[in-house]
């Protein structure tokens, strides 16, 4: 190779690297730093709502007295036992009876998605996902070179059809992935019958269900609907007999920077995830798990009440602003929780082109919807996140967005 030229790296990379592409969302996060841009782009919590003082006290306590050695030491891959015990109680409050052996702590629920891809997907297998679905899940699964087929709760095709489609592509259907509450990107919640229909299909196909519960605690109104895992246990009699793998996270409720999430599932799944974790990163940061445990056990419900009040007001503000400022022909979801409103523009609109125009002329950012579709459709959709903007900024931002769409 001639001096001055780098290696042909792509020729050395594994085939799985071909499907690893930069996320539009990560690129867009850079825009949040520009003060004159009103951003509905990043789906991140408002840092003003983090329980920073409580974490300060918890970290100081963990690093003093009897616990300081353990806080800084290697620990078990399953996760910090008191945190897993606290989660047993939390899961019980959601209708899930389990023990600490049904729980492994992960570095955010994103790590759980990667590990589950690694555990279930051989190259060419099929994962069932929504059109659209969480982009980070597609990115995590893509590394394992799967095919995707479309999950449409309440309107699924016959099981045999899914099975034959997967076989024709050289693999088997392994799991259905769904966010039951306030999904990213749509903000939508699955009704109890939609949840049942996913469990019905999964039972017929004899596959796992991955329940992404990242936003589960962020309900602003309406009645709680039992998680897929709770409905599954109600059918089968116990978590050991259930097929649902629940991925939880403290990112949207306490602090994403600490990277603490969990998986709750039947023991054979947890045991394998523990082995995967051992090989990948040994364990999640002990100090972070201790701090999360202290802050959660002292005031999880109070923290939830605080963030729900703030986000509810912003959700109300964005829906009112959309009603006021959107031109005819534009439709959007009306979420009962979470951080997102999903907007569908008239046919012919392209969300990515609209973003470029919107940034140039109106200084408003959002996420074009196409990246959330495993089949590359959805060009005329955009995702708005209301979690980080003040109510006044929301109205101004949606007014500007209405203008740029109106100019079409």
Ligand X SMILES: Cc1ncc(COP(=O)(O)O)c(C=O)c1O
Q: Interface residues for ligand X in 50-89 (CB under 6 A)?
A: none
CB neighbours of residue 129 within 10 Å = 24
Residue number with CB closer to ligand X (108 or 368): 108
- Fill in the per-residue mask, 262 to 281: x = in contact with ligand X (CB under 6 A), - = not in contact: --------------------
Query: In Å, what is the CA distance from 264 to each residue of 211, 215, 284?
Result: 10, 16, 16
Does residue 369 bind ligand X (CB under 6 A)?
no
Residue number with CB closer to ligand X (43 or 146): 43
Phi, psi of 109 (to 5 degrees): -75, -15
Minimum CB separation of residue 130 from ligand X in Å reads 11
Residue number with CB closer to ligand X (140 or 166): 140
Nearest to 391 by CA among 319, 338, 336: 319
Minimum CB separation of residue 115 from ligand X in Å reads 12
Residue number with CB closer to ligand X (136 or 397): 136
Grouping H, G, I as helix, E, B as strand and the rest as coil, residue 103 is strand
- Fill in the per-residue mask, 220 to 259: x = in contact with ligand X (CB under 6 A), - = not in contact: -----------------------------x-x----x---
**104-112, 152-160, 268-276, 318-326 -> range binding ligand X (CB under 6 A):** 104-112
Phi, psi of 232 (to 5 degrees): -65, -45
Does residue 130 bind ligand X (CB under 6 A)?
no
**103-111, 124-132, 201-209, 297-305 -> range binding ligand X (CB under 6 A):** 103-111
Minimum CB separation of residue 47 from ligand X in Å reads 14
- Whole-angstrom distance, CA of residue 216 vs CA of residue 91: 12
- Fill in the per-residue mask, 106 to 125: x = in contact with ligand X (CB under 6 A), - = not in contact: --xxx---------------
Report helix angle 286-325 to 52-62, nearest 10. Answer: 170
Minimum CB separation of residue 232 from ligand X in Å reads 19
CB neighbours of residue 92 within 10 Å = 12
Look up tokens 């729900």; give the residue.
Answer: 308
Q: Which of 39, 126, 156, 184 binds ligand X (CB under 6 A)?
A: 184
Query: In Å, what is the CA distance from 159 to each residue of 21, 152, 203?
Result: 32, 12, 9
Nearest to 251 by CA among 227, 284, 223: 284
For residue 152, give both structure tokens: 């449409």
- Whole-angstrom distance, CA of residue 342 vs CA of residue 307: 21
Helices (H), 206-350: 228-236, 267-280, 286-325
Q: Which of 142, 179, 186, 336 binds ligand X (CB under 6 A)?
A: 179
How many residues sit close enough to ligand X to count as binding (CB under 6 A)?
A: 14
Residue number with CB closer to ligand X (108 or 187): 108
Q: Which of 117, 136, 146, 153 binds ligand X (CB under 6 A)?
A: 136
Minimum CB separation of residue 212 from ligand X in Å reads 5
Helices (H), 206-285: 228-236, 267-280
Query: In Å, what is the CA distance from 400 to each residue of 25, 346, 375, 406, 407?
Result: 21, 18, 30, 10, 11
Does residue 134 bind ligand X (CB under 6 A)?
yes
When computed from its CA atoms, the radius of gyration of the chain, rounded to whole angstroms, is 22
CB neighbours of residue 53 within 10 Å = 9
Q: Which of 43, 146, 171, 227 binds ligand X (CB under 6 A)?
A: 43
Q: Which residue is nearest to ligand X (CB)?
A: 108
Q: Which of 212, 289, 318, 336 binds ligand X (CB under 6 A)?
A: 212
Which H or E element spans position 352? helix 351-361
Question: Could you tell me if 123 and 145 are in contact, meaning their C-beta atoms sit under 8 angstroms apart?
Answer: yes
Q: Which of 202, 214, 307, 364 binds ligand X (CB under 6 A)?
A: 214
Residue number with CB closer to ligand X (183 or 287): 183
Minimum CB separation of residue 278 from ligand X in Å reads 19
Which residues contact ligand X (rule: CB under 6 A)?
A: 43, 108-110, 134, 136, 179, 184, 212, 214, 249, 251, 256, 261
């Amino acid at each position: 190779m001639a001096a001055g030229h780098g290696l042909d790296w792509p020729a050395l990379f594994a085939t799985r690297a071909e499907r690893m592409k930069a996320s539009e969302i990560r690129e867009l996060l850079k825009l949040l730093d520009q003060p004159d841009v009103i951003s509905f782009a990043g789906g991140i919590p408002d840092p003003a709502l983090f329980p920073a003082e409580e974490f300060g006290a918890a970290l100081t306590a963990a690093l003093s007295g009897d616990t300081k050695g353990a806080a800084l030491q290697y620990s078990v891959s399953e996760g910090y036992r008191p945190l897993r015990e606290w989660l047993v109680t939390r899961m019980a409050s959601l209708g899930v009876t389990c023990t600490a052996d049904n729980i492994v702590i992960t570095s955010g629920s994103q790590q759980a998605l990667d590990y589950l891809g690694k555990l279930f997907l051989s190259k060419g297998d099929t994962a069932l996902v929504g059109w659209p679905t969480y982009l980070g899940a597609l990115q995590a699964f893509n590394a394992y070179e799967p095919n995707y087929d479309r999950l449409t709760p309440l309107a699924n095709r016959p099981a045999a059809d899914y099975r034959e489609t997967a076989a024709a592509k050289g693999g088997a259907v392994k799991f259905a992935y769904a966010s039951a509450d306030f999904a990213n990107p749509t903000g939508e919640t699955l009704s109890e019958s939609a949840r049942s229909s996913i469990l019905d299909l999964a039972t017929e196909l004899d596959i796992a269900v991955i329940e992404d519960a990242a936003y589960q605690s962020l309900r602003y109104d309406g009645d709680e609907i039992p998680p897929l895992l709770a409905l599954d246990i109600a059918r089968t009699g116990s978590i050991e007999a259930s097929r649902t793998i629940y991925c939880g996270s403290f990112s949207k409720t306490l602090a994403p920077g600490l990277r603490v999430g969990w998986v709750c599932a039947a023991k054979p799944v947890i045991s394998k995830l523990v082995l995967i974790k051992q090989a990948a990163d040994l364990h999640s940061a002990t100090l972070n798990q201790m701090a999360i445990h202290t802050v959660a056990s002292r005031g999880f419900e109070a923290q939830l009440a605080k963030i729900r009040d703030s986000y509810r007001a912003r959700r109300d503000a964005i829906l009112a602003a959309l009603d006021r400022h959107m031109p005819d022909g534009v439709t959007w979801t009306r979420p009962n929780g979470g951080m997102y409103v999903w907007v569908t523009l008239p046919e012919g609109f392209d969300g990515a082109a609209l973003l470029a125009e919107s940034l140039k002329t109106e200084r408003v950012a959002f996420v074009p919807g196409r990246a959330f579709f495993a089949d590359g459709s959805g060009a005329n959709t955009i995702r708005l996140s209301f979690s980080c903007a003040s109510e006044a900024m929301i109205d101004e931002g949606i007014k500007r967005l209405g203008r740029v769409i109106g100019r079409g």
